[in-house]
Amino acid sequence: MKLLLDFFPILLFFAAFKVWGIYVATGVAIVATIAQIAWLKYSSGKVEPMQWLSLGIIVVFGGATILAHDETFIKWKPTVLYWLMGARWPWACWSSARTC
């Protein structure tokens, strides 16, 4: 069930993209991600930091895509997310006592 919930915004994004195009799909992804976070907060009371980061990135880059009417911004989202995850990894290894 958690895996389905994790892929919920992505599945809705691609379905909306096929039917209505990139700008509607971007709006759907933003709303679906907000709904995902709200559901996690309601059901378990705990939202992982990575999910908050993903929400922030999708809102910022998705919002820029819709406002500027330029699909380049939404295409940056995975790259920026992976950069931030990659940048965090060495810091987490350095700051913790466990080995990475």
What is the per-residue pLDDT across 25-55, written as a single tens digit (0 to 9) for each? 999 999 999 999 999 999 998 999 889 999 9
Q: Does pLDDT of 66 surpass 90? A: yes
Q: How far apart are CA 78 and CA 81, in angstroms?
A: 5
Contacts 24+ apart (CB under 8 A), 3-6: 5/36, 5/39, 5/40
Give the chain's mean pLDDT: 89
Residue pair 50/35 in contact by the 8 Å Cβ criterion: no
74 assigned to some structural domain? yes
Would 69 be classed as within a structural domain? yes
Residue 97 lies in a domain: no
What range does the domain containing 22 cover? 2-91
Identify whether 98 is part of a domain. no
Residue 34 lies in a domain: yes
> Half-sphere exposure of 37 toward its Cβ, with a 13 Å CA cutoff?
16
Helix axes 22-43, 72-95, angle to 10 degrees: 40
